[in-house]
Amino acid sequence: MSLRTSRSARAGQYVALLGYLVFLAFPFLWLISTAFKPARELGSLHPTWIPEHPTLDNFRQAFDEQPLLQAAANSLVAAVSAALIAVVVATPMAYVMARRRTGLTAAATGWVVVSQAFPFVLLIIPLFLILKNLHLINTLWGLITVYVVWALPFALWMLVGYVRAVPPELEEAASVDGAGRLRTLVSVTVPLLAPGIVATALFAFITAWNEFFFALVLLKTPEKQTLPVVLTHFLGAEGAAELGPLAAAAFLATLPSLVLFAIIQRRITGGMLAGAVKS
């Protein structure tokens, strides 16, 4: 009897899981399907899941219509610079926040929370005015500056979790052996932190690569704009013929994030939750 109920419950669980799989996957599959469909199929009233005559024309057309390569290069420069600077700047501070209990640590933790809750519009207006005075509007450096500040809260958050996972006893042992403080940090702590630092940098890269709002506000000319902003240019005149290139470009823009996310998935979820779950 109990076996039977558990078996039917199991079946119910699989049906539910299947429902989730369909809900989560179908929009992405439809995007891929649209990207490989020829214009004639996109115009038909009975679209199919699998393109009848798959084609790469949409990709070619997408590159012809919008400066996608330039945009990808801009995105790459902005995201790599922001991720590197954010991690270099945040790691020492995260170390202090994890190891020392000072008023500064509490204040920094408070700032991390507040910065998550603040509406971006209240941050971007003053930043826009500041960057305008520095003549950094419509430059990648202006955007990178904003991305670094924007990445710092979660970079600190993740790194503090990773630092806490490094036992302080190791550092104490090194300092007993006569290593100076900085040497202990560089030769003992940083190597142990390396995987966490890499994961944090990649996560910062992904969020900067995906970011839209700041880029929309700060970058005015097409040759300076990043991929998400350029993608929205496809939206203007959206006839049946334009759906294909739109889908193709959107699909390409997603690939780097997806690949990197797949690589660091476990570390990210672990790192983000290190602080949230009671140990």
Partner 1 sequence: MTLANATVQSGRLGPPGSPESRHGGTAPRINRHSGTWFLVLPALIPILILSVGPLLYGIALAFTDAQSGRTRSTQWVGGLNFQDLLHDALFWDSFRIGLVWAVGVTVPQFVLALGLALLLNQNLRMRWLARALAIIPWAMPEVVVGIMWRLVYNPDAGVLNETIRDLGLGDGRDWLTGLATALPAVIVVGVWAGMPQTTVALLAGLQNTPHELHEAAALDGAGAWRRFRTVTWPALRPVALSITALSFIWNFNSFALVYVLTNGGPGGRTRLPMLFAYEEAFRYGQFGYAAAMGCVMVAVISVVLAVHLAGRLRGGEDQ
For residue 9, give the 3-state DSSP assignment: helix
For residue 216, give the 3-state DSSP assignment: helix
Measured over all CA atoms, what is the biggest interatomic distance in the chain, rounded to whole angstroms?
77
Count the residues of the shown chain that bind partner 1, applying the rule CB under 8 A. Answer: 114
How far apart are CB 59 and partner 1 at their closest, in Å? 15
Per CB under 8 A, 141 contacts partner 1: no
Residue among 55, 70, 105, 138 that touches partner 1 (CB under 8 A): 105
Q: Which of residues 239-278 bind partner 1 (CB under 8 A)?
A: 240, 243, 246-247, 250-251, 253-254, 257-258, 260-262, 265, 269, 272-273, 275-278
Residue placing its CB nearer to partner 1 in the complex, 16 or 194: 16
Residues in contact with 75: Cβ distance below 8 Å, sequence separation at least 6, in sequence order: 209, 226, 227, 228
Rg (CA), the chain: 24
Residue among 182, 221, 236, 237 that touches partner 1 (CB under 8 A): 182
Residue placing its CB nearer to partner 1 in the complex, 194 or 259: 259
Q: Which of residues 29-68 bind partner 1 (CB under 8 A)?
A: 30-31, 34, 42-47, 49
Q: Which span sits near partner 1 by CB under 8 A: 60-68, 76-84, 160-168, 194-202?
A: 160-168
Residue among 172, 183, 194, 223 that touches partner 1 (CB under 8 A): 172
Residue among 7, 40, 54, 88 that touches partner 1 (CB under 8 A): 88
How far apart are CB 17 and partner 1 at their closest, in Å? 5
Per CB under 8 A, 146 contacts partner 1: yes
Per CB under 8 A, 23 contacts partner 1: yes
Per CB under 8 A, 149 contacts partner 1: yes
Residues in contact with 205: Cβ distance below 8 Å, sequence separation at least 6, in sequence order: 79, 80, 82, 83, 260
How many other CB atoms sit within 10 Å of the CB of residue 111? 13
Residue among 11, 187, 212, 222 that touches partner 1 (CB under 8 A): 212
DSSP 121-185: HHHHHHHHHHHHHTT-TTSHHHHHHHHHHHHHHHHHHHHHHHHHTS-HHHHHHHHHTT--HHHHI
DSSP state of 234: T
How far apart are CB 243 and partner 1 at their closest, in Å? 6
Residue placing its CB nearer to partner 1 in the complex, 46 or 69: 46
Residue among 62, 68, 79, 97 that touches partner 1 (CB under 8 A): 97
Per CB under 8 A, 174 contacts partner 1: no
Residue among 4, 27, 53, 64 that touches partner 1 (CB under 8 A): 27
How far is Cα 168 from Cα 154, in angstroms, rounded to an integer? 23
Amino acid type, 62:
A
How far is Cα 75 from Cα 229, in angstroms, rounded to an integer? 10
Half-sphere exposure of 45 (CA within 13 A, CB side): 0
